[in-house]
C-alpha cells in the first residue's frame, strides 16, 4: 500500500481511538503510560513503514502526518462543529468548591486529580479553596482559586 | 428514561468558557459506542477473525490426508500449510494451482521435496514418503483479498480458500 495512504489511515485511526478513550487517556503520562506511548509509537511505525526503511518513505510519511495535522487544524479553525467533535469542549468539574460528581465520573476525573492540579498550580490545600476546576480539551485540569486563597 | 449522562449537572458560572454540555453528552455516547466497538474488534481478533485463532483454523480432509491451515491471513505474515498424509506409497505428491501461488511467496518447505515441476497450470511438489508423511509449507502472503484454489493431494482435489488482510 502507498505510504501516504498508510499514513492517512493511521492518523485517522489514532484520532478516533484517542477520541473514544477520552481526554484523560495519557494526559498525565505516568511512567507506565510513557512506556505504553513508546509501544504504541513502535507498533504504529511498523504498520506505516513496514519493511521499507528508505529515506524517501520516511519523508513521505512525515510529510503526510504533518500535512494531515495542518489540514485538520485548518478545518478546525473553519468549522467549530468539527473542532468540538474532534477535540471536545472544556468542561467544569468543580463549581465553587463543590465537585460535580456526574461530570467527573463521565470524564473519568477523580477528586485526587483535581486536588493534585490545585496543589501543583496554586499550592491549594483543600477542595473548598477551588472556585472552578476545568477539564481542558487537552486532558489537563486548570484551577481557578477563590480570590484571596491563591 | 433518563440515563446517567442526562444527569450531568447544569451550572451557571462566571468563566469566559466555551462549555457545551450537549456536545459533552454526545461525546460520552460516542465514547461508549466506540468502546463497545473496540472491544468487539478485540474479541473478533482474539477469536481469529483477523488471523491466528479458533475461527480462522480450517481443517480439510481429502481421502486419507488432512490439511491444516488458516482461513484468515495477514499480508506478509508467514502462515503454515500442514499436510498429514497417510497410506502413501513411495512418493507423495502435492500440487498447487499457479494462480493460487501467485498470492504467496513460498518461504520454506519441510521436508525438502525430491522434485518440483510445473505441469500445465499447476506447480507439483513430490516428496519421498513411507506410509505416513507430514509436510509443511511456509507461505508469506504477498497480495491481499480473497484467495482460493483447488489443490491436489496425491491426485485428489481439495478446495482451499483464504482471506488476506492488509
What are the residue boundaries of the structural domains of chain B, listed by start? 1-47, 56-165
Q: Which of residues 60-99 of A touch B (CB under 8 A)?
A: 84-85, 88-92, 95
Q: For residues A146 and B89, which has the higher predicted lDDT (pLDDT)?
A: A146
pLDDT digits (tens, 9 = 90+) for A32-58: 888 988 999 999 988 888 777 889 989
The pLDDT mean for chain A works out to 87
Instruction: Collect all residues of chain A within an 8 Å Cβ-Cβ radius of residue B13.
Output: 92, 95, 132
Query: Based on C-alpha coordinates, what's the Rg of chain B?
Result: 26
Question: What three-state secondary structure class fits B123?
Answer: strand
Provide the pLDDT for residue A24: 67
Burial classification of residue B23, based on how many CB atoms lie within 10 Å of its CB (0-12 exposed, 13-18 middle, 19 or more buried): middle
| A5-33 CB burial, b ≥16 within 10 A, e <16 | ebbbebbeeeeeeebbebbbeebeeeeee
Burial classification of residue B73, based on how many CB atoms lie within 10 Å of its CB (0-12 exposed, 13-18 middle, 19 or more buried): buried
Provide the pLDDT for residue B66: 93
A66 — pLDDT class (breaks 50, 70, 90) = very high
> Residue B83: enclosing H or E segment and its boundaries?
strand B79-88
Provide the pLDDT for residue B14: 85
Q: Is this prediction's ipTM beyond 0.90? A: no
Instruction: Answer whether B9 sits within 8 Å of A100, measured CB to CB.
Output: yes
Backbone angles phi, psi at A122, to 5 degrees: -130, 0
List the single residue in B with minimal CA-CA distance to A133: B15
Provide the pLDDT for residue A62: 94
Instruction: Answer whether B19 sits within 8 Å of A16, measured CB to CB.
Output: no
pLDDT digits (tens, 9 = 90+) for A87-130: 788 899 999 999 999 999 998 899 999 999 999 999 999 999 99
User: Which of A25-29, A39-43, A81-85, A105-109 is the least confident region?
Assistant: A25-29
Q: Which of B7, B8, B17 sits opposite A134 (nearest CB)?
A: B17
Instruction: Assess whether pLDDT exceeds 60 at residue A150.
Output: no
pLDDT digits (tens, 9 = 90+) for B121-162: 999 999 988 888 899 999 999 999 999 999 999 889 999 999
Q: What is the pTM of this model?
A: 0.75
Give the CA distances from residue B113 to residues B81, B108, B166, in Å, rounded to whole numbers and listed in that order: 15, 11, 31
Any residues with CB less than 8 A from the CB of A117 and at least 6 apart, and which?
A133, A140, A141, A142, A143
> What is the CATH code for B56-165?
2.60.40.680
> What is the CATH code for A91-145?
3.30.240.20
Provide the pLDDT for residue B3: 77
For B150, the grid coordinates are: 483447488
Q: Is residue A51 less than 8 Å (CB to CB) from chain B?
A: yes
User: Which of A13-17, A69-73, B5-9, B97-101 is the least confident region?
Assistant: B5-9
3-state helix, strand, coil in chain B (%, to 5): 20, 50, 30
pLDDT digits (tens, 9 = 90+) for B64-83: 889 999 999 998 889 999 99
A26 — pLDDT class (breaks 50, 70, 90) = low
Q: Which of B8, B15, B23 sits opposite A103 (nearest CB)?
A: B8
Instruction: Answer whether B31 sits within 8 Å of A88, measured CB to CB.
Output: no
- With a pLDDT cut of 90, the percent of chain B lying above it is 61
d(CA B60, CA B151): 11
B26 — pLDDT class (breaks 50, 70, 90) = confident
Q: Where in chain A is the domain with CATH 3.30.240.20?
A: 91-145
- With a pLDDT cut of 70, the percent of chain A lying above it is 94
Minimal Cα–Cα distance from B120 to chain A, Å?
32
d(CA B162, CA B149): 9
pLDDT digits (tens, 9 = 90+) for B82-117: 999 988 788 899 999 999 999 999 999 999 999 999
CB B104, CB B142: distance < 8 Å: yes
Question: What three-state secondary structure class fits B92?
Answer: strand
Amino acid at each position: 500500500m502507498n505510504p501516504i495512504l498508510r499514513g492517512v489511515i493511521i492518523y485517522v485511526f489514532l484520532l478516533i481511538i484517542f477520541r473514544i478513550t477520552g481526554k484523560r487517556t495519557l494526559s498525565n503520562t505516568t511512567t507506565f503510560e510513557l512506556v505504553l506511548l513508546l509501544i504504541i509509537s513502535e507498533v504504529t511505525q511498523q504498520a506505516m513503514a513496514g519493511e521499507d526503511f528508505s529515506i524517501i518513505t520516511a519523508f513521505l510519511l512525515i510529510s503526510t502526518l504533518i500535512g494531515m495535522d495542518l489540514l485538520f487544524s485548518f478545518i478546525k479553525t473553519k468549522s467549530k462543529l468539527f473542532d468540538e467533535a474532534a477535540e471536545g469542549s472544556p468542561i467544569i468539574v468543580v463549581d465553587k468548591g463543590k465537585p460535580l460528581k456526574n461530570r467527573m465520573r463521565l470524564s473519568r476525573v477523580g477528586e485526587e486529580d483535581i486536588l493534585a492540579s490545585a496543589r501543583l498550580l496554586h499550592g491549594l490545600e483543600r477542595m473548598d479553596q477551588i472556585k472552578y476546576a476545568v477539564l481542558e480539551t487537552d486532558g489537563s485540569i486548570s484551577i481557578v482559586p477563590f480570590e484571596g486563597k491563591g | 428514561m433518563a440515563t446517567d449522562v442526562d444527569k450531568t449537572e447544569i451550572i451557571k458560572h462566571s468563566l469566559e468558557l466555551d462549555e457545551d454540555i450537549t456536545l459533552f453528552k454526545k461525546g460520552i455516547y460516542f465514547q461508549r459506542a466506540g468502546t463497545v466497538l473496540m472491544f468487539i474488534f478485540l474479541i473478533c481478533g482474539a477469536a481469529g477473525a483477523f488471523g491466528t485463532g479458533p475461527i480462522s483454523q480450517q481443517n480439510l480432509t481429502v481421502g486419507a490426508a488432512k490439511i491444516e491451515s488458516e482461513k484468515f491471513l495477514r499480508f506478509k505474515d508467514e502462515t503454515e500449510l500442514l499436510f498429514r498424509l497417510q497410506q502413501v506409497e513411495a512418493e507423495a505428491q502435492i500440487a498447487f494451482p499457479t494462480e493460487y501461488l501467485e498470492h504467496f511467496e513460498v518461504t520454506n518447505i519441510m521436508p525438502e521435496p525430491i522434485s518440483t515441476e510445473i505441469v500445465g497450470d499447476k506447480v507439483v511438489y513430490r516428496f519421498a514418503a513411507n506410509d505416513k508423511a507430514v509436510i509443511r509449507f511456509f507461505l508469506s502472503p504477498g497480495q491481499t483479498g480473497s484467495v482460493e484454489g483447488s489443490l491436489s493431494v496425491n491426485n485428489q482435489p481439495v478446495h482451499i480458500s483464504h482471506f488476506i488482510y492488509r
